[in-house]
């Protein structure tokens, strides 16, 4: 099972913690569930910027 995980980290200089997003795969081994990071996605700002770039590349439809 693969799902989205958000982790918050706070640095000494920052007032607000930053949230980082990961795609995580969960596997059950005996009695424990182990998580493995499949892909690092970045912060919400970087994800939004990447989405905007992809949206600009999308061809427009002519009807």
Where are the domains positioned within the chain? Answer: 2-57
Q: What is the mean pLDDT of the chain?
A: 84
Euclidean distance between CA atoms 55 and 45, whole angstroms = 15
The reply to whether the predicted model has a pTM over 0.85 is no
Provide the pLDDT for residue 22.
93
CA 63 to CA 56: how far, in whole Å?
19
Residue 24 has pLDDT above 90, yes or no: yes
Is it the case that residue 63 has pLDDT exceeding 80? no
pLDDT band (50, 70, 90) for residue 13? confident
Report which of 27, 26, 21 is spatially closest to residue 8, judged by C-alpha positions.
Answer: 21
């Amino acid at each position: 099972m693969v799902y989205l995980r958000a982790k918050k980290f706070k640095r000494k200089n920052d007032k607000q913690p930053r949230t980082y997003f990961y795609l995580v795969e969960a596997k059950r081994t005996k009695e424990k569930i182990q998580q493995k990071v499949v892909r690092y996605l970045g912060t919400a700002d970087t994800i939004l910027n990447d989405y905007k770039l992809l949206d600009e590349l999308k061809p427009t439809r002519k009807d």
